[in-house]
Amino acid sequence: MTTTPSVWVVGTFDTKADELTYLARLIRQAGLPVLTVDISTRGTAGQADLSASDVAAYHESGAGHVLGGTDRGAAVIAMGQALRRLIGDRSKAGQILGVLGIGGSGGTSMLAPALQVLPYGMPKLLVSTLAAGNVAPFVDVYDIMMLNPVTDLAGINRLSRMVLANAAHAMVGMVQHPVPEPATDELPAIGLTMFGVTTECVQAVTRLLDSDYDCQVFHANGIGGRTMESLAHSGLLRAIVDITTTEVGQHLAGGVCDAGPDRLAAAAELGLPWIGSVGALDMINWGARDTIPVRHADRLFHTHNAHVTLMRSTAAELERAGEHIALRLNQSPGIVRLLLPMQGLSAIDRPGAPFHDPDADQALFSAIERHFVATDRHRLEKLPWHINDPEFARALATTVRDVMEP
């Protein structure tokens, strides 16, 4: 295998050789070096620069674990593991300019996890027959582009010729026009979390900080929080400004904006400065009203739009969320500043608004106070404002500067 940095064109040559060869030819014609990679599990015509056996050899148990068996499903899983390991290894060695993969369900299941090990910003494009459906399992928190081929990937025809050409030329454009390397004095990046009901606060904080910080705002809808944590683990954030921690409550109560059990783990594991609050914890998100589990029939609801229904968090749910947040933050070896807006958690949690419930909010505040361990590095502040009040935004921005610019 050549060590020249190349665009990798990856797929199953036993079933899609024509399409893969066509893609590789177009990219070469544009002046870029190409390495074709075969991930077939049932034999190959030997047309690729890197054969299926070459890829399979990267499996931790050897090529024999991937090829030669009778269980196609097991072979597909093993080939995907080998490809992921190969791409991770070659990417770290600087041998990959970008990856263009094509596949049906089997190919997509092998390719998507492998694309996820590439660094953010490196071109990664997957032409998949699954792109017209739910792509969340394949894209996850990564900058993977998926393109719907419209027809099945079963040869070159009038339509597939155009779609595949667009894929090839998109890859060429991304590789030939990279974002310039950042200057040494680039603003430090911070991650902020926002919901529609905390937008006023987050936008105000951003305005107060964006002259000195690269403010990256993430929608706290489950995938957004996970993406922010992933970027932190990748070393791309200098601090987390976690104003909207609703995903913690969603996870504990079963809402659709669930970021999983590892939300807040980045601060605990990395020791990154964490400055945050309890935004939108007053609500649990569901889809349309008829999708809400029957067990919640007697709860207080607010229709956000035709596809989003909000359910008011109870005191018991908020107590669990407060305990979880405090215990997780206690684990961080870094600086922690948790600011509590004592007059309300969201735009609809204030006097006269549908989710105003001071007693339920107090259960959250009390749980945090009971479990949060204050130290010189970890501080808890109770502020007499609503989360969307300008004064609260100023307090958050001032705290960020105090932490980042001591």
Residue 100: what are its φ and ψ, rounded to 5°?
-115, 115
Identify the pLDDT of residue 184.
Answer: 47
Exposed e or buried b per residue across 216-229, where buried means at least 16 C-beta atoms within 10 angstroms of its C-beta: bbbbbbbbbbbbbb
- d(C-alpha 111, C-alpha 100), whole Å: 9
- d(C-alpha 204, C-alpha 279), whole Å: 14
Q: Which helix (H) or strand (E) holds 338?
A: strand 336-341
Neighbouring CB atoms inside 10 A of 258's CB total 22
Per-residue pLDDT of the chain (406 residues; tens, 9 = 90+): 567 899 999 999 998 999 999 999 999 999 999 999 999 998 666 789 999 999 999 999 999 899 887 888 999 999 999 999 999 999 999 999 999 999 999 999 999 999 999 999 999 999 999 999 999 999 999 999 999 999 888 889 989 999 999 999 999 999 999 888 666 458 999 999 999 999 999 999 999 999 999 999 999 999 999 999 999 998 989 999 999 999 999 999 999 999 999 999 998 899 999 999 999 999 999 999 888 999 999 999 999 888 899 999 999 999 999 999 999 999 999 999 999 999 999 999 999 999 999 999 999 999 999 999 999 999 999 999 999 999 999 999 999 999 998 6
pTM of the predicted model, to two decimals?
Answer: 0.82
- Burial classification of residue 57, based on how many CB atoms lie within 10 Å of its CB (0-12 exposed, 13-18 middle, 19 or more buried): middle
Q: Contact at 8 Å (CB) between 98 and 7?
A: yes
Q: Contact at 8 Å (CB) between 108 and 77?
A: no
C-alpha distances (whole Å) from 321 to each of 19, 115, 124, 172, 328 are: 51, 34, 37, 47, 11
Q: Which residues touch 244 (CB under 8 Å, ≥6 apart)?
A: 193, 194, 195, 198, 202, 220, 277, 279, 280
Identify the pLDDT of residue 1.
Answer: 58
Q: Contact at 8 Å (CB) between 107 and 10?
A: no
The structural domains of the chain, ordered by start, are 6-176 (3.40.50.12020), 189-404 (3.40.50.12030)
- d(C-alpha 351, C-alpha 360), whole Å: 14
Percentage helix, strand, coil, to 5, in the chain? 40, 20, 40
Would you give the distance in Å from CA 403 to the centre of its chain? 26
Hey, what's the torsion of the CAs at 43, 44, 45, 51, to 10 degrees?
-140
- d(C-alpha 313, C-alpha 354), whole Å: 12
